[in-house]
Amino acid sequence: MENKVIITVVGKDTVGIIARICTYLAENGVNVLDITQTIVQGFFNMMMIVDIEKATKNFGDIQKDLESLGNEIGVQVKAQKQAIFDEMHRI
Amino acid sequence: MVTLKEVIETNKMVEEQTLDVRTITIGISLLECIDSDLKKVNENVYNRITTVAKDLDKVAKEIERDYGIPIVNRRISVTPIALIGGAACKKPEDFVTLAHTLDKAAEAVGANLIGGYSALVSKGMTTADEMLIRSIPQALCETERVCSSVNLASTKTGINMDAVRLMGDILLQVADRSKDRDSVDCMKLVVFCNAPDDNPFMAGAFHGVTEADAIINVGVSGPGVVKKALEKVRGENFEVLCETIKKTAFKVTRVGQLVAQEASKRLGIPFGIIDLSLAPTPAIGDSVADILCEIGLEYAGAPGTTAALAMLNDQVKKGGVMASSYVGGLSGAFIPVSEDQGMINSVEAGAITLEKLEAMTCVCSVGLDMIAIPGDTPATTISGMIADEMALGMVNQKTTAARLIPVIGKTVGDTVEFGGLFGYAPIMPVNKFSCADFVNREGRIPAPIHSFKN
């Protein structure tokens, strides 16, 4: 549970968003457990559940890297520990 | 497994509806710092605070980063200083040295505010209590982060009218010392009836003597989230309305619960309470008055406001208690004027008066909060307003408070700028008729009949 992280990507749809993010995750030992995506009000929305247990970087660095990767692609990328969503939406 | 919809909902609450953790407050007992040597007490207090709270800022930042939830303030509350300094302080100025020490310790650990420059005098004042109270104007004027509170009354003890009278005078002195800054230091002073021992919110936070060595209390807020949720149920019946508020309060409180648990674990300090209070800020959309309007009032203050607020406050509590095992006593809605753009609009439209605000305090979390009044209001009138608020708390067995700001040199029609989170406030008219002969009577008002339960 401690190592489960939710990555969300929100922005204008473009070619290669998932590819670039997954490449980064693979290079840094982050395991992807689940991917969901949808288009909400014309915006690309993606959520990934990943496991950072075997990651080669610490969580803070991964967050920063993903954020700057998002800036390059032109989308907003956020990584948050899963607990906040579980706490809020599950009794 | 969480769904994309739920993730989007949570993130929207933070990004668009100003959901935040208002404060992580570490309560620290200073009882072990007591000494008859003033220099030694000051040293002890500084060392104790900077040791217990040394990682406060670091941990708050880590939690913000991990969960993507803003934590707006880091705060400290300490044992009422009248108890800690009593053995060493021989004059009010001695207490002021402790205020400076608190200020320095708070700055050293990155805390925005430190509460507990306080005295509990609901039945009587010790010499030390009175000296502390008399030192408040100087202490607040010379420090930046120190907040002061005085408990003047309780359901069990009645109202200490001698202290109420004194506080009217003290408040004007605080106002006068900061008159070149719109009497802004009055924001750091609040008086209470039935003050809770574990309040994480300022200016009234102190670490009660019933508490452990150290404790983590967390305050969450989110008026914007409630407002947004209610927009979706316009015109629905009361059952749907109440259900929506409860569910929203539940979700918001869960965030506080998570943050409190994490802070407790990472700081190695036990978890005390979560306080879910709809505490507004001047940011657009972060307003309790706007919720009342969404419920169906043209302006906060219109007939029906007290009923709407009573319902709101109750549903917030009901949602909150399900979400956390330890919910704080103040959970509900705060109705400060200056910090709430919707409330300011009401004042400017002439929709709300001091008397209506007083009625509203009977059914919400606290009391007359952040209300700017003319600087020429007599001390006895201020004491009368405080006494009224204390009576509401005493009889209704609830916490009430008064944080009034007599703005020296300004009057009705003027506006005061407090800056930042504190917003601005139009000066509200105060009833002109005198209560001097009432306030000047000595002694105390006895406890009400329903306090005799033993």
> What pLDDT does A91 receive?
82
Give the chain B residue whose CA is nearest to the CA of A6: B7
Which range of residues forms the domain containing residue A56? 4-89
B291, amino acid identity: I
Query: Which chain B residues are closer than 8 Å to A83 by Cβ?
Result: 67, 258
Query: Which chain A residues are closer than 8 Å to B66 by Cβ?
Result: 59, 80-81
The pLDDT tens digits for B147-188 are 999 999 999 999 999 999 999 999 999 999 999 999 999 999
d(CA B417, CA B426): 9
CA angle in degrees (0–180, nearest 5) for B238-B240-B246 = 100
Domains by residue range for chain B, with CATH: 21-193 (3.20.70.20), 216-443 (3.20.70.20)
Closest CA to B291 of B277, B312, B306: B312
Specify the CATH number for the domain of residue A84.
3.30.70.260
The pLDDT tens digits for B89-145 are 999 999 999 999 999 999 999 999 999 999 999 999 999 999 999 999 999 999 999
Structure tokens of B222? 């989110």
d(CA B407, CA B425): 11
**Cβ within 8 Å of residue B340, ≥6 positions away:** B280, B281, B282, B287, B288, B289, B423
Average pLDDT over residues B358-375: 91
CB B343 within 8 A of CB B423: no
How many Å lie between the alpha carbon of B219 and the closest alpha carbon of chain A? 16
Of B1, B11, B255, the CB nearest to A87: B255
Under the banding of pLDDT at 50, 70 and 90, the label for residue B425 is confident
Give the chain B residue whose CA is nearest to the CA of A1: B1
pTM assigned to the model: 0.91
CB distance B68–A59 less than 8 Å?
A: no
- On whether any CB of chain B is under 8 Å from the CB of A40, the answer is yes
CB B419 within 8 A of CB B200: no
For the cut 70, the answer to whether the pLDDT of residue B398 exceeds it is: yes
> CB burial class (10 A; 0-12, 13-18, 19+) of residue B67?
buried
Query: Which chain A residues are closer than 8 Å to B258 by Cβ?
Result: 83-84, 87
CB B223 within 8 A of CB B289: no
CB distance A85–B66 less than 8 Å?
A: no
Strand A75-81 to strand B271-278: parallel, antiparallel, or no bridges (unpaired)? unpaired
Structure tokens of B449? 């009949």
> What pLDDT does A1 receive?
62
Centroid of chain to Cα A9: 6
Mean pLDDT check: name the lowest of B15-19, B115-119, B204-208, B411-415.
B15-19
The sign of the CA dihedral B24, B29, B35, B36 is positive
Contacts of the segment B296-301: beta carbons below 8 A, 24+ positions apart: B298/B351, B299/B345, B299/B346, B299/B349, B299/B351, B299/B352, B300/B335, B300/B342, B300/B343, B300/B346, B300/B351, B300/B352, B301/B346, B301/B351, B301/B352, B301/B353, B301/B356, B301/B357
- Chunked into runs of 10 residues, chain A (91 residues) has average pLDDT values of 88 88 94 89 88 93 94 92 91 82
> Based on the structure, what is the number of domains in chain A?
1
Asked whether the ipTM of the predicted complex exceeds the cut of 0.95, the reply is: no
By a Cβ cutoff of 8 Å, what residues of chain B touch chain A?
A: 1-4, 6-11, 65-69, 251, 254-255, 257-258
